[in-house]
Amino acid sequence: MLYREAGDFKTSYADDNQTFPIRFDRWRYYAVLAIAFGVIPFIINDYWVNAVFLPFLIYAIAAIGLNILVGYCGQVSLGTGGFMAVGAYACYKLMTAFPDISIFIHVILAGGVTAGVGILFGLPSLRIKGFYLAVATLAAQFFLVWLFNRVPWFYNYSASGQISAPERSVFGIKVTGPETEAWATYLFCAIFVFLVAWLARNLTRGTVGRKWMAIRDMDIAAEIIGVNPLTAKLSAFAVSSFFIGIAGALFFSVYLGAVEVGEAFGINKSFLVLFMVIIGGLGSIFGSFAGAAFLVLLPVLLKNILVGGLGWPTDLAAHLEFMIVGALIIIFLIAEPHGLAQLWRVAKEKLRLWPFPH
């Protein structure tokens, strides 16, 4: 009814090529932005920001990053945790070495450092593919975690090997450290999410993204039509790692405030982000958000319902949580192997014609 194309005429190429060609979609997008930036910051409290929004936003960035590599370029990676660790430790070293520079710049630079590391570990992708590449990136995961545990320079020789974020600010507003306001940390991460999602969406619509997708669909054919696999694959690794590095930097500095590399950035993190991408939908920005929401928010929601609402024992609830989330993953993937994004796409197709499908 609301969601239809009839009467929505496009009179220029720019109109035709816009990200949200349907008017209702466009308005919905503006509404989400308005709520995210205009409403939530005013009503958010400590619980919502630390338990719900920060993990969701940060994992969404990581999922977008990994989606570029796996979903758009077809290079399977299990090194996400390691790359997030690079972002976190780069951010920590920069924060402590240059305390006067805005944390905003540090986070971007941390992403840049991660991009460099990502290119380095992306080199094997030129020779190996598929599962074998996954194993090569797995090596990156273990090597990086080992490195940050082993070399004291990375954690500034602290006795415990932990890194803790000192207090840093943007335009005089504290965004790291214990004394932050809920809205400040939320907005800081939301801005990064917006920038990353916008950049990713536009990259994947343009030449660069089309090259990635050509490589993904059939690399030999792509090479024949003139796509350079070296630049295409390495640029995918660079952009993907850049985003993942930003996610790692925010994860450490804004969200947790203190991390231990083995616990926070272990192999589990790599799998978690990969599952977000798979459940959300490969090759979809919306899918990255949906996947992150599914795996971050559902456990919190279930916990609140089972323990807070029904008053069940915590261990029973924790076990049930695993079972419910696991069962839902299987159900979703059986119902729609292409993830939540595809479900959403199908729903939109139906809605366009509704209520007269013929």
Partner 1 sequence: MRKTLATLALGAVMAAAPAMAEITMSALSYRTGPYAANGIPFADGYADYFTLLNERDGGIGGEMINLVECETGYNTEKGVECYESTKGEGVLVYQPLSTGITYQLIPKATADGIPIHSMGYGRTSAKNGAVFPWVFNYPANYWDGASHAITHISEQESGDLNGKKIALVYHNSAYGKEPIRTLEELGKKHGYELLLLPVDHPGQEQKSQWLQVRQQRPDYVIMWGWGVMNQVAIQEAVNIRFPMDKFIGIWWSGSENDVLPAGDGADGYKALTFHNLGMDYPLYDDLKTHVVDKGLAAGAGDQLGTALYNRGMYAAMLAAEAIKTAQEMSGESQITPAQMRDGMENLEITEAKMEALGLPNFGPEFKVSCENHGGDGYGAVAQWDAGAGEWSLITDYYQSDQEVIGPLVEEDSSAYAAEAGIEAGCM
Tell me the window of 75-83, 125-133, 289-297, 323-331 that interacts with partner 1 (CB under 8 A): 289-297
C-beta of residue 143 within 8 angstroms of C-beta of residue 85: no
Q: Which of 170, 195, 199, 318 touches partner 1 (CB under 8 A)?
A: 318
Strand pairing class (163-164; 258-259): antiparallel
Instruction: Report the DSSP beta bridge partners of residue 259.
Output: 163
Residue 120 identity: L
Tokens 């279930």 map to which residue? 302
Residues 154-173 that bind partner 1 (CB under 8 A): 159-162, 164, 166-167
324 scored as a contact of partner 1 (CB under 8 A): no
> How far apart are the C-alpha atoms of 107 and 103, rounded to whole Å?
6
Which one, 229 or 271, has the nearer CB to partner 1? 271
> How far apart are the C-alpha atoms of 258 and 9, rounded to whole Å?
53
- Encoded one letter per residue, x for contact with partner 1 by CB under 8 A and - for no contact, window 133-152 reads ----------------x---
The backbone region for 157, taken as left when phi is positive above 0, alpha when psi lies in -120 to 50, beta otherwise, is left
Helices marked H in the chain — which ranges?
Answer: 13-16, 23-34, 40-43, 46-47, 54-67, 80-97, 103-122, 130-150, 182-205, 207-217, 219-224, 229-250, 261-264, 267-280, 285-303, 314-335, 340-353
Counting residues that bind partner 1 (by CB under 8 A) gives 51
Residues 32-61 that bind partner 1 (CB under 8 A): 32, 35-36, 46-47, 50-53, 55-56
Tell me the window of 14-22, 116-124, 176-184, 326-334 that interacts with partner 1 (CB under 8 A): 176-184
Which one, 16 or 179, has the nearer CB to partner 1? 179
19 scored as a contact of partner 1 (CB under 8 A): no
Tell me the window of 219-227, 286-294, 325-333, 348-356 that interacts with partner 1 (CB under 8 A): 286-294
> How far apart are the C-alpha atoms of 21 and 9, rounded to whole Å?
10
CA 114 → CA 54, 67, 106, distances in Å? 21, 16, 12
Q: Which of 289, 295, 339, 341 touches partner 1 (CB under 8 A)?
A: 289
Tell me the window of 5-13, 65-73, 119-127, 290-298 that interacts with partner 1 (CB under 8 A): 290-298
256 scored as a contact of partner 1 (CB under 8 A): yes
C-beta of residue 306 within 8 angstroms of C-beta of residue 320: yes
- Encoded one letter per residue, x for contact with partner 1 by CB under 8 A and - for no contact, window 233-252 reads --------------------
Site of interaction with partner 1 (CB under 8 A) = 32, 35-36, 46-47, 50-53, 55-56, 149, 159-162, 164, 166-167, 177-179, 255-260, 262-264, 266, 289-290, 293-294, 297, 300-301, 303-305, 307-309, 313-315, 317-319
